[in-house]
Amino acid sequence: MIDLPFSNVDELTAGLDEHAYLADRGLATAIYLSLSLGKPLLLEGEAGVGKTEVAKVLSTLLYRRLIRLQCYEGIDASQALYEWNYSRQLIAVRAMDAADAEKHVQDLFSPEFLVERPLLSAIRAGAGAVLLVDELDRADDEFEAFLLEILSEFAVTIPEVGRVVAETPPAVIVTSNRTRELHDALKRRCLYHWIDHPDLDREVAIVRVRAPHVSEALARDVAGAVERLRALDLAKVPGVAETIDWANALAFLGADRLDRAMAADTLGAVVKDHEDQALVAPHLAEVVGEDG
Amino acid sequence: MASGPVPPLVALGRDLRGRGLPVGTGRILTFVQGVAALGLTDRASLYWAGRTTLVANQADLETFDDAFDEWYRSLREEGEPELSLEFNLPPDPEDFEFGDEPAADAATGVQTAAGWQRADEDEEPAEGEESSLRLVASATEILRTKSFAYLTDEERHRVAKLIRELTIQVPIERTRRTRAASKGSALDVRRTLRRSLRTQGEPFDRAWRRRRTRTRPLVLILDVSGSMAPYSRALLQFGYAAMAAGRRVEVFCFGTRLTRVTRVLRTKDPDRAMHEIGRIVSDWEGGTRIGESLKSLLDGWSQRAALRGAVVVLCSDGLERGDPELLRTQMARLRRLAYRVVWANPLKGSPRYEPLARGMAAALPSVDVFLSGHNLESLEALAQALAP
C-alpha cells in the first residue's frame, strides 16, 4: 500500500477542504479508495462540477507533480506516450560523418532525441505524480484500448531504448463528460464516481472558498438562483464553475445582492445557449427569488 | 476459506448481478478490498464503497440504491450484530467461490455471430436445383412488397434473413487521425527520416500522411407503440445487419418515453433481442410522444456525440399525441446535430397517404429522406438512401 498523508476518509476530506476543494462523503470515499487500492478513479458528471479540479487539488495535497493528458479527437500514441524528435534527428543525420555511420545511427535514438509525452512522463514519475486523463470520451475507441493497456501495466517498451516500468503506479484520475459511453473493459479497471451538482449549502460554501471576495449574501443568492435554473429543463445545465463565474462577475460589477436587473445583465455568465436564454428570460423574477 | 464479513458483501454483488448490472468477480473483490481499506462498516462507508466499486454507470445508480437499501436492511434484521473487520482476504481471486460467472459480453457476441453464420448456412437451399431456386426467387419477389404487418411467422423469419443480407452502406466521414499514404496533405516526418538514411541524410524521398475515414454512426429511433411494432421489428433487423457489417449502431425505442436498447442488441440474437426489448420497454401499447422522447434523447442521454454526424433513422407513424410544436423544435435540433435524418413512416405505403397529421407536418421540414419502410422493397430504398 502507498504511503498517504491521511489515514481515513475524514482526514482526506479535511485535507481537501484546506486546499479549497469541498468534497462530499461519496467523492472523498472514492478518492480515498482509489489511492489506497491503487486503482484509477473514473469521474463522470455534468460539465463544470469540478472533475478536473480533483486531480489538481490532489497533486497539491500529495505534493506530487500533476501530469495532464488532455484527450481530443484523433489523439494517438505518439501524442500521448512518446515520439522521436524527427526534425532534430534529420539535422543530426545531415551533420553526420559518413565514415562512422554505424555508430551515429545508435546516437540518433539516444534519450536526447526522445520527446516525452504525458503518459511516459507519468510512468517515469511513478508514485511522484498524479496523472489526469482529461475528457477521455473525446478520444476514440482505439485510444481507449491503448490507454487500458498502459493503465494495467504502467510499463512501456520503446524498441530503441528499452522497457520503462513504474515501480509504483501514479495516482490516476480519468474524467469523462459522457458524450459517449466508455468501454466496459476500461470501467472494470477503474473505480467509478458520478459527481452530482452540490446541494445549496455546499455550493454556497464552494463559492465562498473559491471566490473569497464574494459576500455570503451574494453567494447564497447566486447559488439559489443557479439551483432554480437547473430545475428549468435547460439544454445546457449550469455547473458549479458557472456559479463561481457568475458570482465573480456580479461581485466585479459591485453587486451585494442579486436582483432581476443584475441577473438580466449578467445572464451570459451562467446560461450559455441562445435557446436556453430565451427560455429563462420570462422566469427571471422567479429565478432570482423575487416572486410576484 | 472466506468467512465472516465476506459472504454478505459478496451477496450484495450477486444481488446486483441478478438485477442486471455487470458485476463480475473482479468488481466484488475490489468492493471487499475497499471495505477493508476503509476500515469502517457504518452505512455510509459501505454505501460509498459499494457504489464506487460495483457501479460504473450513472444509469445504474438507482438500481444500486434500491439493492443496497434492501441488502442493508436484511443485514440488520438477520441480527448480525456488527460486521467485524477481521478480513481473511484470500491472496488470489481464484480462491474466491463466487459460483458461476456470466459469460463476458464479448464472448457472447462472438457466439451469437457464429450462431448466425451457422443458421444462415443451414437455411440455404440444400439442393442447388434450379427449379427450387427460382421458387425461392419468386417467393422473395412477393415478400418484397408484402407489408410487414401482414407477414406470417414463417415469412417474417425469411424476411428477417433477407433484411440481414441487405448491403448496408453508411456514408463515411473523415477523422482527425491520419494514416500513411502514397500521396497526402501532410508530410510524414518519421518515414521521411527513415528513408533519408538511405540517401546520406538527404530527405530526397518524401513520405506522406492522409486523414483516415470511417463510417458514420447509424442511430435507429424506433416507435414501439401498438401498431408500429411489426415495422420496428423489421428495422431492428436492419440495425442488426448494419452492426454485423461492422458499423457503429445505436438503437433507441420509444412509445411514451425513450429507452436505449443498444446493449440488448449487442448480446442477443435478433428474435430474442426483440423479446428482450418487449420486456424492457414497458409502454408497448401506450400512445406516442415523439417530441418528448426526442427531447430526452437530445438532452438527457448525453448521447450527443453518438448523434453528431450520424445517420439517424426514425421509424414512426407520426401520429403525435404531444405538442407538435415541441416535435418541430426537437427535430430541428436533431437535424443540426445529425448528418442525415431519415424518417420511415409505414403509413406512407398507402398510395392515398398525405402527411397531414400535425406531428408529421411539423417534423417534415427537418427530414432529409422521407420513405415508407413498410416492406422489404422500401427497406432496400432505405439502404440506398443511406448510401453516400
pLDDT one-digit tens code per residue, B162-176: 776 666 666 777 777
| Nearest CA among B283, B247, B277 for reference residue B265 | B277
Q: Which of A61-75, B16-30, B124-138, B334-348 has the lowest mean pLDDT?
A: B124-138
User: What are the cell numbers at A8?
Assistant: 481515513
- Which among B52, B201, B203 has CB closest to A193? B52
| Nearest CA among A8, A46, A55 for reference residue B37 | A8
Residue B312 identity (one-letter amino acid): V
Q: Which position has the higher pLDDT, B239 or B64?
A: B64
A44: DSSP letter:
E
The answer to whether the complex's ipTM is over 0.85 is no
B48, B173, B189, B250: best to mutate for the A interface, most A CBs within 10 A? B48
B327-367 tens-digit pLDDT? 888 898 888 888 888 888 887 777 666 666 777 888 888 88
Q: Do A73 and B304 touch (CB under 8 A)?
A: no
Q: Do A137 and B57 touch (CB under 8 A)?
A: no
Shortest distance between the Cα of B61 and any Cα of chain A, in A, equals 9
Q: Do B196 and A93 touch (CB under 8 A)?
A: yes
The model's pTM is: 0.69
| Nearest CA among B20, B24, B105, B65 for reference residue B276 | B20
With a CB cutoff of 8 Å and minimum separation 6, the contacts of B91 are none
Phi, psi (deg, nearest 5) at residue A271: -110, 115
pLDDT of residue A135: 93
User: What are the cell numbers at B58?
Assistant: 450513472
Q: Which position has the higher pLDDT, B321 or B91?
A: B321
Residue B137 pLDDT greater than 80, yes or no: no
Please give the mean pLDDT across all residues of chain B: 73
pLDDT of residue B256: 72
Collapse the DSSP code of B370 into the 3-class scheme (helix H, G, I; strand E, B; otherwise coil) and give the result.
strand
Distance CA B13, CA A197 (A): 27
B257: DSSP letter:
S
Inter-axis angle of helices B25-38 and A25-37, nearest 10: 100
Q: Average pLDDT by consecutive 10-residue portion of chain A (292 residues)?
A: 80 92 93 93 90 94 95 88 87 74 75 91 92 92 88 87 89 88 86 93 93 93 94 86 94 91 91 87 87 54
